[in-house]
Amino acid sequence: KAGVTQTPRYLIKTRGQQVTLSCSPISGHRSVSWYQQTPGQGLQFLFEYFSETQRNKGNFPGRFSGRQFSNSRSEMNVSTLELGDSALYLCASSTGQDNEKLFFGSGTQLSVL
Amino acid sequence: GESVGLHLPTLSVQEGDNSIINCAYSNSASDYFIWYKQESGKGPQFIIDIRSNMDKRQGQRVTVLLNKTVKHLSLQIAATQPGDSAVYFCAENYENRDDKIIFGKGTRLHILP
């Protein structure tokens, strides 16, 4: 079956703009997690959605938000972009059970100029 | 701060030799551990996992060892191949953890010809 799909693959924005990233999980998976990956901080957990509800949240400012649709597809939004938001944003899906491996997409590389 | 870390940021191994990548974790409540491999331009890919009721688990060419006494995890790759070049992340979780799976910063594995 198809893997996790993230769009777009690359994105260039300027400071102050906002951006929306999209993630389609593996068919049948109801949990979608978002991570930010940077060379300095590694993989940092943003939030997790399960059945259209945010179930877990990491330590990111309110400028970072997300949502999940009834078909389990998820979007994350970053408003008022800052230079430090430049990163690879990874989406991962799972069935949502505890202690379960995540399946990652290839990510969206966001550059903020 | 990070509850999972790695002893070495970079590891160089001769092709055909065995590779050992180490990871330390600090949360004694962690009961599920995962190794991921990330190749350039791709998202992390699941390699192998282990639960805390085990101390060893083997896959194809890979073995994960868990020492709960010293909170240490290792990934052994047998007969390392050029295709094993990647960044390897250990990750940990425990049931009901609010911020889901936490990743270490990663070890880059270089394969020498």
> pLDDT, tens digit, for every residue of A6-28?
999 999 999 999 999 999 999 99
Name every residue whose Cβ is closer than 8 Å to that of residue A11 and which is 6 or more positions away in sequence. Answer: A19, A21, A108, A109, A110, A111
Give the SS3 label for residue A43.
strand
> What is chain A's mean pLDDT, rounded?
94
Per-residue pLDDT averaged across B85-95, rounded?
A: 87
Chain B nearest-CA residue for A109: B41
> pLDDT, tens digit, for every residue of A46-87?
999 999 999 988 999 999 999 999 999 999 999 999 999 999
Q: Least CB-CB distance to B32: which of A57, A58, A99?
A: A99
| Distance separating alpha carbons of residues A69 and B106, to the nearest angstrom | 32
**What pLDDT sits at residue A42?**
85
Band of the pLDDT at B94, cuts 50, 70, 90? low
Chain A nearest-CA residue for B32: A99
CA-nearest of B41, B85, B5, B110 to A9 is: B41
Q: Least CB-CB distance to A99: which of B2, B51, B102?
A: B51
Question: Are B44 and A45 in contact (CB < 8 Å)?
Answer: no
Task: List residues bridging with B92 in a β-sheet.
Answer: B33, B102
**What pLDDT sits at residue B2?**
39
Give the SS3 label for residue B59.
coil
